[in-house]
Amino acid sequence: MYLDDADIYPDMDPRLQQALDRRGRGLRTVATASSSADEIGVVALVEDVDAWTARSDVRPGAVVGEVDRAWLVTARVPLTRLERVRRADGVRSLKPAQPLHPVLQATVPEIEADPPALPAGTLAAGGAGVLVGFVDSGADFAHRNLIRPDGSTRLVALWHQDGPSTQDSPFGYGKRYSARDIDLALSQPDPYAALGYGPAPDSPTRRGSHGTHVVDIATGNGKGSGVPGVAPAADIAFVDPAVSDIVWEGVDVVGSSFGDSVQLLEALRFLFDEAGDTPCVVNISLGTNGGPHDGSSLVEKGIDALVAERPGRAVVIAASNSFDDGIHAAGTVPAGGSVDLRWVLPESISAQGELEVWYAGTDRFRAELITPGGQSLGSVALGANGRVRADDGTTLLFVSHRRADPNNGDNVLGVFVEDRLPAGTWTIRLHGEQVADGGYHAWIERNDASQSSFAEPHDGSHTLGSISCGRLSLVVGSYDAHKPGKPLSFFSSAGPTRDGRQKPEISAPGHAVLAAHSRTGTGVTQKSGTSMAAPAVTGVVALVLAEAAARGVVLDAGTLRRIVTESGRSDPPTGTGGWDDRYGSGRVDAADALRAVQKLDGG
């Protein structure tokens, strides 16, 4: 046994250091009524309350009082930001605290979607006549917010892709439940057992299913919680590709996935087929970090094709939560020279680490790998592969250097490392053997238990998810609606795409959002993320589609996109009419979007 150095800021309360150490080892804190599993309640002594509350990584609680010419405050802070918050100017002390009371939900009034804010003469009717689809985990069909006043379900269809297959299974797999199936289950004492499907129960690290929360933000009718979502009269369809929410907890999360891209396309095909001629918007909060980020993947082309298939369709995707993770790097390799990519593998890395480098097909780089100890393992030329094997023959490290990707003609370098490899800072040295362009972008794949990163300083640009760079999808960033300045969520990923297109399109409240808590019937729980922002926009799109349908206005994908983006509000983002790489074209505005439809109708 020996003492190991921990790379944790030492001038911090030991209990906070322990929390960071536990997180680094793949352990998670316990979710409470006011804190998610990824954040911790703190008591802080700060010199400037306004500066403290303005930070996007601080969810303020209470100002307790003045102490020694500073202010004692309570808050919740994401574990990933603890060290930065502790080091911030004006923060004299930071101690772990008891959980705090949650802030109030503010999504609907903030985005001008509450009925008093909507324009006179609106025919949106809460999204009535529109089908809102979701691809997500855990739909609680028994939550009162998803049930009509007469007791019947608002879900017109539910496809559990991992459910028992039948002769009628969509595309040959899973189980489709009809509204009638769900209504029958709702009449039973245990509706989940009766249907054979339900959201996972709460656990020490997760309160409420993701899918139920998301559905409620976009379409909940408030009959249970008392607070309706954005489009409370819309119909709902849901596809659940997950085995279970449970696999998303603890160290077992590493290497697991939430379906795959083919299942996603089939989910979309299913939802749009269910809609038929009915206007339909689908909400997605899936993705990874890797990929070409230029819209050329076939899954992105597939999403574009389905949206373009007929008017009155949209797909809304969460931007991703990777801005602060240090997972992107970019630069230029000079002809005859080299550039070092410094990849930091944590001591606690579990499962594989993956990194991709994309560069122009007109260039030819050579990739040299150097261990944390400075040993060069050799170089991989364009078109070659490299491999390091353990004594037992298994692969410890694999490098693929592919020429001319079939979809965009660019070259791509992939590096895969096993968790048995030495931790520390690895170097991928890119040598410019033939350079016409020289530019490159690199991404590190997601690993929830022990995320590796590039060495600081980090470049948070180009951190949109792997399926969020298509041409017709609407991609949504997140800000904090509870603070006067509406600051960006520290995690909200940034654009543009690798080919320079302006995404995300729009932003919405995604910070500390209270919405339906699965398996409670009427309760709510709090979650944060761009996947809490995306359904707010999905709800707005449902209102727009309903308004258009009621007026006989045909909205193709381009027109719908212009309505959403041109009605975005500024300040923030700074200025007017511009595009911001995280807010997009501004903060979504339901009322102005509906006015735009009315104008198309001559209003």
Tokens 């490290």 map to which residue? 397
The tokens for 311 are 């008017």
530-551 and 590-600 helices cross at what angle (nearest 10)? 30
Give least dist CB 310 to another protein, A: 12
Is the C-alpha dihedral spanning 73, 74, 79, 80 positive or negative?
negative
Q: Which is nearer to another protein, 427 or 502 (CB)?
A: 427
Give least dist CB 527 to another protein, A: 7
Q: Which is nearer to another protein, 222 or 255 (CB)?
A: 255
The tokens for 32 are 């409470």
The tokens for 108 are 């609907």
Give least dist CB 376 to another protein, A: 8
Q: Which is nearer to another protein, 286 or 563 (CB)?
A: 286
- C-alpha 465/C-alpha 415 separation (Å) is 19
Strand partners for 417 = 353, 397
The tokens for 392 are 């037992």
CA distances to 117, 343, 505, 588 from 592, in Å? 10, 45, 16, 9
Q: Which is nearer to another protein, 33 or 298 (CB)?
A: 298
Give least dist CB 287 to another protein, A: 6
Of 534, 447, 529, 452, residue with least CA distance to 492: 529
Q: Which is nearer to another protein, 197 or 491 (CB)?
A: 491
Q: Which is nearer to another protein, 270 or 440 (CB)?
A: 270
Give least dist CB 81 to another protein, A: 15
- C-alpha 272/C-alpha 422 separation (Å) is 48
Give least dist CB 297 to another protein, A: 6
Give least dist CB 50 to another protein, A: 29
Q: Which is nearer to another protein, 98 or 375 (CB)?
A: 375
Give least dist CB 2 to another protein, A: 5
- C-alpha 427/C-alpha 344 separation (Å) is 9
- C-alpha 435/C-alpha 432 separation (Å) is 6
Give least dist CB 495 to another protein, A: 15
Q: Which is nearer to another protein, 53 or 320 (CB)?
A: 320
Give least dist CB 101 to another protein, A: 22
The tokens for 202 are 């709460």
Give least dist CB 373 to another protein, A: 5
Q: Which is nearer to another protein, 34 or 530 (CB)?
A: 530
Residue 180 CB coordination number (10 Å)? 10
Enumerate residues 6+ apart whose C-beta is below 8 A from 99. Answer: 32, 33, 34, 35, 41
Helix (H) or strand (E) holding 374: none
Q: Which is nearer to another protein, 133 or 465 (CB)?
A: 465
Residue 383 CB coordination number (10 Å)? 12
Of 259, 236, 238, 239, residue with least CA distance to 247: 259
Contact predicate 398/416, CB 8 Å: yes
Q: Which residues of 123-156 are buried (b: 16+ CB within 10 A; e: fewer)?
A: bbbbbbbbbbbbbbbbbbbbbbbbbeeeeebbbb
Give least dist CB 451 to another protein, A: 12
Q: Which is nearer to another protein, 99 or 372 (CB)?
A: 372
- C-alpha 26/C-alpha 451 separation (Å) is 10
The amino acid occupying position 403 is: R
- C-alpha 127/C-alpha 549 separation (Å) is 10
Of 288, 188, 173, 177, residue with least CA distance to 241: 173
Q: Which is nearer to another protein, 121 or 422 (CB)?
A: 422
Q: Which is nearer to another protein, 195 or 264 (CB)?
A: 264
- What would the DSSP string read from start to end of 482-515? TSTT-PBPTT------TT------EEEE-SSEEE
Give least dist CB 532 to another protein, A: 9
